[in-house]
Structure 1
Amino acid sequence: MNYCFINGRIVSDAQASVGVHDVGFLRGYGVSDPLRTYNGKPFMLDEHIERLAFSGTMLGLKLPYPRAKIKRIVGALLAKNNPPVGGQEASIRMILTGGESKDGMGYDKRHPGFFILVSSLHALPESAYTKGLKLITREYQRELPEAKTLNYVEALLARDACKKAGALEPLYVSRGKVLEAATSNFFIVKNGALITPKQNILHGITRRAAIDCARELGMRAVERDIAVRELKTADEAFITATSKEIAPVVRINGMKIGNGRVGKTTHALMGAFRNFTAAW
């Protein structure tokens, strides 16, 4: 049996409920932040709480508890759910909404909705890291891209097209620039240097860790706009995300990236990141 935290209480998933008048449910007005465990310990929890708080401020929402208490709640949930179903590592999702609304629009900022969910981690298959992934481009820029809002309409609309194309997820592009994937940050490698968009994206925790790993390996990492046309000349590409870690991309639409295989730079970064998380 899994347990979660719902507005001040730890309850089983079977007993959990969200009010039908919560503006997160009625209007999608809220933010979330997912993280995972390594060796049973939440990975970069402080950074994820800070990003949740930042996303919340962009919607005028504040965390209802001090950060230290949120960390204690996460620890209690992990202990209550230990071990996760199947003995795997855990996936944790923190959610902050506007809370209950009397008219479907207004809400009381003093009483936000706050939830923490825990489940078994659903990681990519190992073949994704050895053979690489495919993405398909989609013209779109997220609203409030720096915030991790609850709006995933475009990502869900793209599911059928991704399935038909054999792609993991869409790669959002806008006005000739590459932005981010639906649930991941995006990088290309050119002449041994990492390049990743800096503006109009969500600044991922794993994205930052990948940049730090690259610099520790002596690689150059540049944050700048990437023109869509640059995909044709990229030597390698990869995505980063909590559940995906660093995952190679070998094809975008019908085009091979580089030689269509996992590149040596991406391979080195995957190893460095896994060494980093193994010691967490």
Structure 2
Amino acid sequence: MKSFLKLEPFANGYQAVNLSPNAALSNAEAQLRTPDGAYTTFRTYDKYFVLNLRQHFDRIEETAALTGKSVRLNRAALQSEICAALEETPSPEARIRLSLDLSVNLGEIYLSVEPFAPRPANLYQSGVETATVRMSRTNPRAKLSRFLGQADAVRRSEKKNVEEYLMISDDREILEGLSSNFYAILRGELFTADEGVLAGTTRKFILDLAAAGNVPVRLRPISVFELNRVDEAFLSSTSRSILPVRKIDRWTIGNGAVGPITAKLMKAFDAEIRKNLSDLRIAE
């Protein structure tokens, strides 16, 4: 069983150390045993296929650079280790987290793998409820693992029965979710924050779909004071794809149903996703 591995740089590859030989750990459990550093999380399709794999690797290296550390991943060797872990994962699809150690042994990588469990289908038909929280990232362009602890602390303290917490700035602008990007549609235009947020890998794919579908895009956040005028809203992440939002705090979005532009983008996402996947078994 290889659900949690430490990958130590060795010669032209990595030396894998199995940190959970007797029991499978969830990604969250593995993260508690991982040093502070850069991380990325993604899901697989049909066992070995991933959306925007190169961007995930790029983001780890860029996050390290933003903290003043220079690290270059051995991408071919890393893909090989991921595939070896997936071979021992019974689930046909998995959720993978890569964490680069930036605090103890620079360059070591922690790899955790858990079965991928999609959201229930009814949530994509009815939309989800969200809540706002006053919060922002210290270093928005860096995906640092310490933020995972901060996000978990918010979920524990707020204790609301919602899909996601949306971070709002001091100016009351909706920036992003704790683990997602946020989008609002007003008067046929798609709004999403560009500054002060972590640009998710799925976000770029969605913005490309919007451009291809002639949906105008405004790279700016909406304010909570605009919520009464928002027609549609949705979240995106590697595990959620496009997930409609029907409520933010006490505000019902539009008429409370999945809107036409959101539905259009969801359909395009499903139609185009498999044309844009990378095979982990083929080195980037």
Same fold (TM over 0.5): yes
Establish whether residue 183 from structure 1 lines up as the match of residue 183 from structure 2: no
Partner residue of 1:93? 97
Establish whether residue 5 from structure 1 lines up as the match of residue 5 from structure 2: yes
Q: Unmatched 5+ residue regions in structure 2?
A: 9-14, 23-30, 278-284
Partner residue of 2:126? 131
Comparing both chains, which one has the higher relative contact order based on Cα–Cα distances under 8 Å and sequence gaps of 6 or more?
Answer: 2
Superposition RMSD in Å: 2.4
Q: Does the CA-based 8 Å contact 2:210-2:265 persist in structure 1?
A: yes
Q: Provide the C-alpha distance between the structure 2 equivalents of 1:38 and 1:224, rounded to a whole number of angstroms.
A: 31
What's the offset of the Cα at 1:193? 1.4
Q: Provide the C-alpha distance between the structure 1 equivalents of 2:227 and 2:191, rounded to a whole number of angstroms.
A: 11
| TM-score when normalising by structure 1 | 0.84
Partner residue of 2:28? none
Deviation per CA, 1:31-73: give whole Å up to 9, x if none.
1100111122122211110111111111233435323332333
Q: Provide the C-alpha distance between the structure 2 equivalents of 1:124 and 1:201, rounded to a whole number of angstroms.
A: 24
Q: Unmatched 5+ residue regions in structure 1?
A: 17-23, 101-107
Matches within 5 A, 1:48-197: 48-63=56-71, 65-78=73-86, 80-81=87-88, 84-85=89-90, 87-100=91-104, 111-150=106-145, 151-160=147-156, 163-164=159-160, 166-175=161-170, 176-197=172-193
Deviation per CA, 1:56-107: give whole Å up to 9, x if none.
11123343532333233323332x32xx33x33111111012253xxxxxxx
Partner SS, residue 7 of structure 1 = strand
Aligned residues: 260
What's the offset of the Cα at 1:13? 5.1
> Counterpart of 1:199 in structure 2: which amino acid?
E
Establish whether residue 216 from structure 1 lines up as the match of residue 212 from structure 2: yes
Q: Provide the C-alpha distance between the structure 2 equivalents of 1:185 and 1:252, rounded to a whole number of angstroms.
A: 14
> Counterpart of 1:7 in structure 2: which amino acid?
L
> Counterpart of 1:70 in structure 2: which amino acid?
L
Name whichever of 178-187 and 64-73 sits farther off: 64-73
CA pair 143-27 structure 1, distance change in 2 beyond 3 A: farther
Establish whether residue 39 from structure 1 lines up as the match of residue 39 from structure 2: no
Q: Provide the C-alpha distance between the structure 2 equivalents of 1:276 and 1:28, rounded to a whole number of angstroms.
A: 37
Partner residue of 1:104? none
CA pair 76-88 structure 1, distance change in 2 beyond 3 A: closer
> Counterpart of 1:58 in structure 2: which amino acid?
L
Identity %, equivalent residues: 29
Q: Does the CA-based 8 Å contact 1:61-1:97 persist in structure 2?
A: no
Q: Provide the C-alpha distance between the structure 2 equivalents of 1:25 and 1:278, rounded to a whole number of angstroms.
A: 33
